[in-house]
A and B are shown apart, each in its own frame.
Chain A
Amino acid sequence: MGADHDMRAVMASLPVPDLEGAPFAVAPNLADAQVAIVTTAGLHLASDDSFGIFDPGYRVLPHGRDDVTISHNSQNLDRSGMMLDRNVVYPVDRLDELAADGSIGSVAPSHLSFMGAQSDLATILHDTGPQAAHRLQEQGTDVVLLTPV
């Protein structure tokens, strides 16, 4: 077993918030939907502030920008894959291809990134998370692809 096996065992033992049931909505027709990516990889534009330790905020990634960087605070994830191919965590090129062949309606004008290494989820639950959701709704996003790391 590799190092990820050990990390998964640690993560599985951590407490999670009680959200009292799964939020659920009937999905729109994918071929008509605007799709955005929300990742926890700690990505941001080179000109943006890096993620600080336990930073509960999010950064906006305009679609089409190539100057995407990572400042995720965890030592316990592989970065080499995304450094060779952004699509393994931030699949914007794959979404462009799906939009071109009509599998999805369109690609969102911007995507979002949080950073996964957190200690207190209250700010995300009550502040930055709802802000992010509102931003996605405002730009007309119908479907969100979450890519946790």
Chain B
Amino acid sequence: MHEVAARMPIPRGLYCQFPLGRPLGKPRDPEFQHEVLRAAFGLLDATEPTLATYPVVIEDEVDVALACPMPARLDPSLPAAVDEMRGLRKAFDRASGGIRAAVDPDVVEAALRGFTRVADDATPWDQAEIPDNPVTAGLVIRGYYEQAAAGLSEHVPGARSAESWFAQQTVTGKMLHRAQQAMKDAGAPQPFWFYVLPASQHRLD
């Protein structure tokens, strides 16, 4: 953040108004990345603390949900979110070329079963056997789905469009909205329900 960097202050900074999570701006665009690096390394010539601004602005695309083919319902005996998650496993495994989510699919499945109990079975959140805690469990689910999206997408999506796909269009995302609302209504500690989903995706009453 420009304001934070200016207040710290830092010795040399290149403020890039790029999406959060993409400090070099454009994935799979080596030329653009080199331009950013040239600008950053150019600050080494400065003889006093310097905070420069990169002239290109890139906004996130949270309003444009990624279009991904979704797996069909295969096993009605499973919770719908678990069935969907299993259907995305090949896409999750095939994502390559980037940084992988540090998630265990077995933990993701356990987290989905736990949140489903909260969302659809009226189980109290602290008795639903959500692994670890709802914050961490929400993150591993999201990480699994974003990596699956990377395995499904044939182009580079805008920042946060995979997040919007996950939160708005998947069975799991819709279930997590119901679980989040149930936890809030039940008086769960604020961080536990707030961080189940990204703040930009909240649809709470």
Q: Which residues of A line the B interface, CB within 8 A?
A: 1-8, 11-12, 14, 16-17, 19, 21-27, 30, 39, 41, 43-44, 46, 50, 53, 67-71, 73, 75-91, 93-94, 97-98, 103-104, 143, 145, 147-149
User: Which of A2, A26, A149 touches B61 (beta carbons < 8 Å)?
Assistant: A2
Q: Is A84 touching B156 in the complex (CB atoms < 8 A)?
A: yes
| A83 contact from B33, B41, B150, B198, Cβ within 8 A | B150
Residue of B whose beta carbon sits closest to that of A79 = B146
CA distance A90 to B97 in the complex (A): 12
**A49 shortest CB reach to chain B, Å:** 9
- State in angstroms the CA–CA spacing of A81 and B11 once bound together: 28
Q: How many residues of B sit at the interface, in one of the four size bands?
A: 35 or more
B135 contact from A11, A50, A53, A147, Cβ within 8 A:
A53
A125 CB, min distance to chain B CBs, angstroms: 12
A-B contacts, 15 of them at CB < 8 A, read: A2-B61, A4-B59, A22-B11, A39-B23, A46-B102, A69-B100, A70-B102, A75-B139, A82-B27, A84-B156, A85-B156, A89-B23, A94-B37, A143-B44, A148-B23
Docked pose: A75 CA to B191 CA in angstroms: 12
A80 and B159 form a contact (CB under 8 A): yes
Given A16-B8, A89-B24, CB of A70 within 8 Å of CB of B101: yes
- B189-200 CB mask vs A (1 if < 8 Å, else 0) is 000000101111
- Chain A nearest CB from B11 CB (Å) reads 5
* Residues of chain B having any CB pair with chain A under 8 Å: 1, 3-4, 7-11, 19-28, 30, 33-34, 37, 40-41, 44-45, 47-49, 59-63, 66, 95, 97-102, 135-136, 138-139, 142-143, 146-147, 149-150, 153, 156-157, 159-163, 195, 197-200
Partner of B160, one of A2, A43, A85, A149: A2
Distance (whole angstroms) from the CB of B7 to the closest CB of chain A: 5
Contact of B139 among A3, A11, A69, A73 (CB under 8 A): A73
Docked pose: A143 CA to B37 CA in angstroms: 13
Asked if B24 and A83 make an inter-chain contact with CB atoms under 8 angstroms apart, the answer reads no
Contact of A75 among B25, B147, B197 (CB under 8 A): B197
**CA of A47 to CA of B67 in the docked complex: distance in angstroms?**
33
Q: A30 vs B156: C-alpha distance in the bound complex, in angstroms?
A: 32
CB distance from B198 to the nearest CB of A (A): 4
A30 touches B44 (CB 8 A): yes
Interface centre among A3, A11, A89, A103 (most CB of B within 10 A): A3
> Measured between C-beta atoms, what is the minimum distance from B156 to chain A in Å?
6
- Tell which of B28, B47, B48, B198 touches A3, judged by Cβ atoms closer than 8 Å: B198
Decide: A91 and B24 in contact? CB cutoff 8 A: yes
Given contacts A79-B101, A84-B98, 20 further A-B contacts (CB under 8 A): A2-B60, A2-B61, A2-B63, A3-B62, A4-B60, A4-B160, A8-B1, A46-B102, A69-B101, A76-B20, A76-B199, A76-B200, A78-B19, A80-B146, A80-B150, A80-B161, A80-B163, A86-B99, A90-B99, A97-B30
Could you tell me if B48 and A24 are in contact, using CB atoms closer than 8 angstroms? yes
Which of A4, A14, A86, A91 is in CB contact (< 8 Å) with B20? A4
Bound: A75/B160 CA distance, A: 11
CB distance from A4 to the nearest CB of B (A): 5
Are the C-beta atoms of A14 and B4 separated by less than 8 Å? yes
